[in-house]
Chain A
């Protein structure tokens, strides 16, 4: 059946079973492969994207749950890959293999949208994505860097 989906500001009508996980619709039908599959059980967060600005683990959310809502993926953050979080990630050379980083960045953007200058304790509580290369040292520094830039420039992320 046809499902209407708005992803990165573009409306799509997609022929797919409504219980199909959002992840596979995004990756297969829409070809947006920046969002990754890893565990399939909402544990690791590699598949994190936003529904109406809130981070969700798309491997475990049916596409029907996103109907009528705004879905944002890593590709929709910034056309040039120049979102303040992405720039902080580049400046501190955060990624190693990089496979988890799309989901990690989406989680961090959602956190900074709610808390523009998070404490370490807030980061610990909110950022629950797994990184097997363990780039956590640089992730934490890059979150603070992006937050500093944001408050200095008076921008919203």
Chain B
């Protein structure tokens, strides 16, 4: 089964081949016939999408070639988080194959549309249930046919890449897939030798008949294994962490060698015979559309073919987000298309109520919402009367800006629509949704839609891709037979992404005469469609107060909001941990010991792990030892799932920050104590993720914001939306792991959030100034 094996009777092969011949040395991908396709690819090893294999598959995840090369099919998208390697490790752990011969490849989203999942992958534990076979506690979302909100029953189950859940959600059935394949390979060997299967075992792709010492290889018996069904897949046992040998070891990422040689094929690098390029301008005010454009002004520019207006992409296809309508210019090369569209007069039809909005007005609306009734998440005790009895009242109002992901690869997609088939090449965190979009836009059934996945040049949140596929499919559908490669400029990428919502919060506490909280009230306000607004405060206070109230408030704005890295946690951790620093200072107590005491007073299921994290990070950092003038330490807790009872990720970080009298901030070192649960799959990847997230949230703390003027986003390239460089990276990042008794709730997106409160508190300690709104570059950080 392959994405490449469909012949196309309505399609002119001759055109493709002749065009291809004029292109020298390019990555030219043929796809209509496998043999020709191979000949067209300049660097085939760089293309990660599903390919046909000469060997028969053992199951949908595992193909073993005669030379023992194992192809593991990956249903999540590699965007730098290491899933290409981690998920291959999970399968290989159970398969017991030679890791040096493992080659990942993307699972086919088209095949996923045609086949149902094997029953043994559906036989999963419920949320939080313990696996009776000793594999731990898998956590699965709801079942959902579309794959948008839950996990479908289609072949590869969860193909989306989000919520730091690729390992967490996939581990159980990926282990099962590896184990099922191994047991069938053993059955095939036993059948070949005419011996009981109990007498054969395997390691490193070599199968041994123990009584006689005879051996064979996976590659030799794979064809027979492919014909040998598992007699009782419900009985397959997967390894608990105590038996892992590959998982838990540091493995270099398998995609790295191609990435350092420039050979990896990202979506932007795809080139097809006869392909044309599209440059786009979307209405910069969301919800607006094209009123008119003057193509005649650019018709004679070099390489220009046509201009195509497109409507506001159907919100039903992109989880309700409303972007702008726009116009595309098609040309022989992208630079020609981009140069021409810049010269083309375009008038926009902008909803006046949106054109009147700006950052100050949006923030004022949210501030007012804090005083209106909100959605009460927790209300323990009686805050109102407790506040009347406090020895000291502390109140603070914080705010954070709109933030995009700003991945380095601008949005793009290459689409070919013919009468009966759609092919799409792109980096995509939700290929099942893109498949559905293609079917809806073209009227061609999902079973004839082929999504050829590429590695992504950054992700940082599932729906950051915006409507790249939807725009490209719409345009290609009007140009059937011609492959269209749509590519956004950097500025257009800012228009077509969702944002982490702007937010404000007011936190109040009443302290007793010893400085301990007797009441705490938390009010947050964001866009009403913002996800994750309960993070960090819901269900129960992480820091104990006998009277505790949390309410979420909202306003409604036209900027599309979505799941940027960390979702709700980064903003809410900034509010919470900043406020804990403020309370500790008001109480005259050490911020580390103050936090420690308040966590110890709770009944949270993982409070011992939170205390452990704080203790370890403090000790690693030399907490309490003298620092030079102008240097300070701050500590904070990071948690995901601390209120629940099944999965959680707990960490603490200490940030050592120096600030010159001229106000230059320097992050000197970061000490990280991080939960590894029962075990990490690839600790090297986790270290890399932690290192990267520290800088990610450093950027949030120091530099990044997007403002709104006249309804449009102002900062839209890297001259105004700033990225830190190597000179600001901490000279020292120390990471230590500690084991806990739970499964991790992912870790690729909400670690390092504490650097926000950390730098803000260091500023306070050094300069005496307390700033409660980010980014800090807007403030005077000088001192004398």
Footprint of B on A, CB under 8 Å?
A: 17, 20-21, 24, 28, 30-41, 43-44, 46, 73-75, 77-78, 81, 86, 89-90, 93-102, 105, 120, 123-125, 127-140
Name the residue on A nearest B699 (C-beta): A134
Residues A137 and B733 in contact in the complex (CB < 8 Å), given A81-B263, A102-B262, A128-B725: yes
Q: How far, in Å, is B496 (CB) from chain A's closest CB?
A: 15
Q: Return 14 A-B CB contacts under 8 Å, by A number.
A: A33-B27, A34-B262, A35-B262, A38-B408, A39-B490, A93-B688, A94-B256, A97-B79, A97-B455, A102-B262, A105-B260, A127-B727, A132-B723, A136-B695
The answer to whether B458 has its CB under 8 Å from any CB of chain A is yes
Residues A38 and B692 in contact in the complex (CB < 8 Å), given A81-B260, A90-B257, A97-B455: no
* Contact indicator B731/A120 (Cβ below 8 Å): yes
Chain B 721-751, CB-CB to A under 8 Å as 1, else 0, gives: 0011111011101000000000000000000
The answer to whether B409 has its CB under 8 Å from any CB of chain A is yes
Shortest Cβ-Cβ A-B pairs, 7 listed: A34-B262, A31-B26, A99-B457, A96-B80, A134-B695, A81-B261, A98-B259
- The residues in B between 305 and 345 inclusive whose CB is less than 8 angstroms from any CB of A are 333-335
Known: A31-B23, A135-B691. 13 other contacts (CB 8 A): A31-B25, A33-B269, A36-B268, A41-B719, A97-B79, A97-B459, A98-B80, A99-B266, A99-B457, A100-B408, A124-B726, A125-B727, A140-B729
Cα A38 to Cα B460 with chains together (Å) = 16
The answer to whether B24 has its CB under 8 Å from any CB of chain A is yes
* Contact indicator A133/B458 (Cβ below 8 Å): yes
Name the residue on B nearest A35 (C-beta): B262
* Contact indicator A31/B42 (Cβ below 8 Å): yes
Give which listed residue, A78, A94, A120, A132, contacts B408 with CB less than 8 A: A132
Name the residue on B nearest A129 (C-beta): B725
- The residues in B between 25 and 44 inclusive whose CB is less than 8 angstroms from any CB of A are 25-28, 42
Name the residue on B nearest A93 (C-beta): B252
Name the residue on B nearest A92 (C-beta): B252
* Contact indicator B691/A134 (Cβ below 8 Å): yes
Name the residue on A nearest B405 (C-beta): A132
* Contact indicator A41/B726 (Cβ below 8 Å): no
Cα A120 to Cα B666 with chains together (Å) = 15
Q: Which residues of A contact B42 (CB under 8 A)?
A: 31
Name the residue on B nearest A46 (C-beta): B408
Name the residue on B nearest A140 (C-beta): B726
* Contact indicator B409/A38 (Cβ below 8 Å): yes
Name the residue on B nearest A81 (C-beta): B261
Give which listed residue, B257, B263, B688, contacts A34 with CB less than 8 A: B263
Q: Which residues of B contact A97 (CB under 8 A)?
A: 79-80, 407-409, 455-459
Cα A101 to Cα B9 with chains together (Å) = 42
Q: Which residues of A contact B23 (CB under 8 A)?
A: 31
* Contact indicator B81/A96 (Cβ below 8 Å): yes
Q: How far, in Å, is B425 (CB) from chain A's closest CB?
A: 13
Residues A98 and B729 in contact in the complex (CB < 8 Å), given A28-B334, A89-B260, A135-B692: no
* Contact indicator A123/B717 (Cβ below 8 Å): no
* Contact indicator A138/B688 (Cβ below 8 Å): yes
Cα A90 to Cα B684 with chains together (Å) = 13
* Contact indicator A134/B407 (Cβ below 8 Å): no
* Most chain A CB inside 10 Å of its own CB: which residue of B26, B457, B719: B457
Chain B 260-283, CB-CB to A under 8 Å as 1, else 0, gives: 111111101101000000000000
Give which listed residue, B252, B265, B333, B455, contacts A24 with CB less than 8 A: B333
- The residues in B between 428 and 477 inclusive whose CB is less than 8 angstroms from any CB of A are 455-460
Q: How many residues of B contact A (CB 8 A)?
A: 68
* Contact indicator A135/B725 (Cβ below 8 Å): no
The answer to whether B104 has its CB under 8 Å from any CB of chain A is no
The answer to whether B489 has its CB under 8 Å from any CB of chain A is yes
Chain B 284-315, CB-CB to A under 8 Å as 1, else 0, gives: 00000000000000000010000000000000
Q: Which residues of B contact A123 (CB under 8 A)?
A: 726
Q: Which residues of B contact A129 (CB under 8 A)?
A: 725
Q: How far, in Å, is B167 (CB) from chain A's closest CB?
A: 16
Q: Which residues of B contact A124 (CB under 8 A)?
A: 726-727
Name the residue on A nearest B28 (C-beta): A31
Name the residue on B nearest A102 (C-beta): B262
Q: Which residues of B contact A133 (CB under 8 A)?
A: 80, 458, 692
Q: How far, in Å, is B714 (CB) from chain A's closest CB?
A: 16
* Contact indicator B262/A75 (Cβ below 8 Å): yes
Q: Which residues of B contact A131 (CB under 8 A)?
A: 408
* Most chain B CB inside 10 Å of its own CB: which residue of A34, A75, A77, A123: A34
Cα A124 to Cα B724 with chains together (Å) = 11
Give which listed residue, A98, A130, A138, contacts B457 with CB less than 8 A: A98
Q: Which residues of B contact A44 (CB under 8 A)?
A: 408, 718, 723
Q: Which residues of B contact A28 (CB under 8 A)?
A: 26, 333-335
Name the residue on A nearest B277 (C-beta): A28
Chain B 146-162, CB-CB to A under 8 Å as 1, else 0, gives: 00000000000000000
* Contact indicator B255/A98 (Cβ below 8 Å): yes
* Contact indicator B335/A132 (Cβ below 8 Å): no
Give which listed residue, B410, B692, B727, contacts A134 with CB less than 8 A: B692
* Contact indicator B717/A43 (Cβ below 8 Å): yes
Name the residue on A nearest B261 (C-beta): A81
* Contact indicator A41/B718 (Cβ below 8 Å): yes
Give which listed residue, B26, B263, B489, contacts A40 with CB less than 8 A: B489
Q: Which residues of B contact A102 (CB under 8 A)?
A: 262
Q: How far, in Å, is A49 (CB) from chain B's closest CB?
A: 10
* Contact indicator B261/A86 (Cβ below 8 Å): yes
Cα A24 to Cα B410 with chains together (Å) = 15
Residues A38 and B262 in contact in the complex (CB < 8 Å), given A96-B692, A124-B726: no
Q: Which residues of A contact B699 (CB under 8 A)?
A: 134
* Most chain B CB inside 10 Å of its own CB: which residue of A125, A133, A138, A139: A133
Give which listed residue, A38, A39, A77, A98, contacts B264 with CB less than 8 A: A98
Q: Which residues of B contact A20 (CB under 8 A)?
A: 335
Residues A99 and B718 in contact in the complex (CB < 8 Å), given A34-B263, A132-B723: no
Cα A139 to Cα B727 with chains together (Å) = 11
The answer to whether B696 has its CB under 8 Å from any CB of chain A is yes
Name the residue on A nearest B729 (C-beta): A136
Residues A86 and B302 in contact in the complex (CB < 8 Å), given A96-B692, A125-B727, A135-B692: no
Q: How far, in Å, is A80 (CB) from chain B's closest CB?
A: 8
Q: Which residues of A contact B726 (CB under 8 A)?
A: 123-124, 127, 136, 139-140
The answer to whether B694 has its CB under 8 Å from any CB of chain A is yes
- The residues in B between 708 and 723 inclusive whose CB is less than 8 angstroms from any CB of A are 717-719, 723
* Most chain B CB inside 10 Å of its own CB: which residue of A41, A73, A95, A124: A95
Q: Which residues of B contact A75 (CB under 8 A)?
A: 261-263
Cα A104 to Cα B260 with chains together (Å) = 10
Q: How far, in Å, is A18 (CB) from chain B's closest CB?
A: 12
Cα A39 to Cα B252 with chains together (Å) = 30
* Contact indicator B455/A93 (Cβ below 8 Å): no
The answer to whether B253 has its CB under 8 Å from any CB of chain A is yes
